[in-house]
Amino acid sequence: MKTGLYFGSFNPIHIGHMAIANYIYEYSDLDELWFVVSPQNPLKKKSSLLADHHRMRLVEIAIENDNRFRASDIESKLPVPSYTIDTLTWLSEKHPARTFELIMGSDNLLTIHKWKNAGMLTRSYKIIVYPRDTRNSQPGESARELITTSDIEVVDAPKIEISGTFIREAIADGKDIRHFLPPGVWQYARDMHFYE
> Does residue 181 sit in helix, strand or coil?
coil
Q: Would 121 be classed as within a structural domain?
A: yes
In a domain? residue 183: no
| In a domain? residue 179 | no
Residues shown for the chain: 196
What is the CATH classification number for the domain harbouring 130? 3.40.50.620
As to burial, measured by CB atoms within 10 angstroms (0-12 exposed, 13-18 middle, 19+ buried), residue 145 is: middle
pLDDT (0 to 100) of residue 110: 86
Rounded Cα distance, 161 and 123, in Å: 30
pLDDT for the residue 45: 61
How much is the pLDDT for 98? 97
Phi first, then psi: what are they for 90, rounded to 5°? -65, -45
Q: How many domains is the chain built from?
A: 1
Residue 169 lies in a domain: no
**Residue 186 covered by a domain:** no
* Ranges under pLDDT 50 in the chain: none
- How far is 9 from 78, CA to CA, in rounded Å? 15
Expressed as residue numbers, the domain containing 61 is: 2-159
- Report yes or no on 59 lying in a domain: yes
**pLDDT tens per residue across span 128-149:** 999 887 666 777 787 778 888 8
Is residue 178 in a domain? no
* pLDDT value for 32: 98
- 194, part of any domain: no
pLDDT of residue 95: 97
